[in-house]
Amino acid sequence: MMKVSKKGKSVYADAGFWFEKDESIHMSFKGVPGFHVAINADPKKPNGHPTLFRRLAKLLSDAGAKAPKSN
């Protein structure tokens, strides 16, 4: 379920993140049909975003979930 902030500038949603065998981190949002994206560390790939990948990897690791090994 998504909620819009009081000022109407932000949207808050329940997000899910998980690490896959292909070394990417996947992200989806509860209640948002069709929203699923894979993020990887290689900036040359279409979904490559090294900074976001590192931050999501830390989030997974800190939570005790399966995560990529730190570089």
pLDDT in tens, 9-49: 999 999 999 999 999 999 999 988 999 999 999 999 999 99
- Report if residue 31 sits inside a domain: yes
Residue numbers of the domain that contains 32 = 14-63
Given strand 25-29, what is the order of strands in its sheet? Answer: 15-19, 25-29, 36-39
Question: Any idea of the CA torsion for 25, 30, 33, 39, to the nearest 10 degrees?
Answer: -10
Q: How far apart are CA 30 and CA 1, in angstroms?
A: 6
- Report if residue 9 sits inside a domain: no
Instruction: Give the pLDDT band (50/70/90) at residue 71.
Output: low
Q: How far apart are CA 56 and CA 67, in angstroms?
A: 9
Reply yes or no on whether the pLDDT at 66 is more than 90: yes
Reply yes or no on whether the pLDDT at 63 is more than 80: yes
Give how many domains the chain has, as a whole number.
1
